[in-house]
Structure 1
Amino acid sequence: MQNMWDERYSRQEFVYGKEPNEFFKLQLTQLPTGSILMPADGEGRNGVHAAANGWTVTSCDLSQEGRNKALQLAAERGTTLEYLVGDIAALSLPESAFDAIGLIFAHFPPDQKSFLLQRIARSLKPGGYLIFEAYSKQHVKYQQVNPTAGGPKGAENLYSAEELLQCFGHYDIQLLEETEVEQGEGIFHNGRGIVLRFVGRKPVE
């Protein structure tokens, strides 16, 4: 997987664009600035946006090429962020350290999905917010019609509301919806698709 992402991100262009995901951008405006963890941040469009708007950002991804692009984008925008490279299962992430976590199109292997989501969530402070958007299992039918619709192939690699509730059902859920979107994010997220969106506040212990 690392080689695949390094190859993708080694292109000159930003393959998912330089602008943040619209849902993430909107949700971030609802929160006071603080510290935010951005797993699977790729070329950094979302982490850099948060940093440029006053957040202290820790991004991470498998890809060194993604990190290089993210730091380039941060420099273009006159901001900075910390960017860790490695498998999220092995990275040393502090517990209860972040005011928010942004999981934007962070698709994990089906046998690791629940484990990784819950591991990531341990880094969220009690009272902190999780912002999530990723492709729904229903997205498969859109991929069949449009190859540039984006997302990993196979419903097992996509998300269901039930999976999110298994991990985060105990949160104060602000939003949980499955909705159709029209995307124009670089060359790999284009056209109509269907996503799951979740915003939840971690219980205060």
Structure 2
Amino acid sequence: MLHPDDRHSPWDQRYDTAEYVFGTAPNDFLAAEAHRIPPGRVLCLGDGEGRNGVHLAALGFEVTSVDASQVGLAKASRLAASRRVAVQTVLADLRTFEAGIGQWQAVVAIFVHLPPDLRVDVHRRAVDALAPGGVFLLEAYTPRHHDIGGHGGPPRDQADLLMSLDGLRAELIGLDLVVARELERDVNEGARHSGRSAVVQIVGVKP
């Protein structure tokens, strides 16, 4: 996750194409579990080109999509307009983005792979940002993803960006984990996320 002032960031370069790199359909896990989110405000972290935020907006949620790529967020706005829904986009670095306290009915993090120290801090702030009854929803690649030759996700030399169920349990103190599992599944999300994958899935509810 790079500073938004870096206009030559890899994510801007990656998204600078007419194609939606990860597709326009929502993440399967998010789509299956969105029914757990109470009506209201949803914060999508690292929402990129907006496929997940736009899906949630179409379900009637008030969505804010945060990302460090201006190019990605511009595509998110175009996708929202094409679906006739509204999504607020915020260009921000997750190192400094302030989500507030008790303000959101859900915080969503789909394949948001951050350096460990930053990830721990972002997850702590995400828990704080949830209102009572709010939902934290996450899917990410696990270290086993490399073992099975999975496509997509952080490269082998950045394996510390991958997540495990045990690690996430420790990072998400304060939530009741109603879904907490590691599994292998087929992911089909554009050219960058395609094929057999080893993932961890979390749905946590704030009491």
Query: Does TM, scored on the shorter chain, surpass 0.5?
Result: yes
Identity %: 38
Unaligned runs of 5+ in 2: 3-8
In structure 2, the residue matched to 1:43 is: 49
In structure 2, the residue matched to 1:195 is: 199
Does residue 156 (structure 1) correspond to residue 157 (structure 2)? The answer is no
In structure 2, the residue matched to 1:28 is: 34
Deviation at 1:116, TM superposition (A): 1.6
Q: TM-score, normalised by structure 2?
A: 0.91
Unaligned runs of 5+ in 1: none
SS in 2 for 1:178: strand
SS in 2 for 1:122: helix
In 2, the alpha carbon distance for the partners of 1:109 and 1:31 equals 27
Deviation at 1:94, TM superposition (A): 2.1
In 2, the alpha carbon distance for the partners of 1:32 and 1:171 equals 15
Q: TM-score, normalised by structure 1?
A: 0.92
Whether the aligned pair in 1 keeps the contact of 2:123 and 2:172 (CA below 8 Å) is no
Whether the aligned pair in 2 keeps the contact of 1:114 and 1:163 (CA below 8 Å) is no
2:186 corresponds, among 177, 182, 203, to: 182
Per mean C-alpha deviation after superposition, the further-off stretch among 84-93 and 130-139 is 84-93
Whether the aligned pair in 2 keeps the contact of 1:138 and 1:155 (CA below 8 Å) is no
Show CA shifts across 1:72-91 (max 9, x none). Answer: 00001000111111101212
Q: What is the alpha-carbon root mean square deviation over aligned residues?
A: 1.3
Deviation at 1:110, TM superposition (A): 2.2
2:22 corresponds, among 10, 16, 24, to: 16
Does residue 99 (structure 1) correspond to residue 105 (structure 2)? The answer is yes
In structure 1, the residue matched to 2:77 is: 71
In 1, the alpha carbon distance for the partners of 2:129 and 2:136 equals 11
SS in 2 for 1:151: coil
In 1, the alpha carbon distance for the partners of 2:120 and 2:36 equals 27
Deviation at 1:30, TM superposition (A): 3.2
SS in 2 for 1:68: helix
In structure 2, the residue matched to 1:122 is: 128
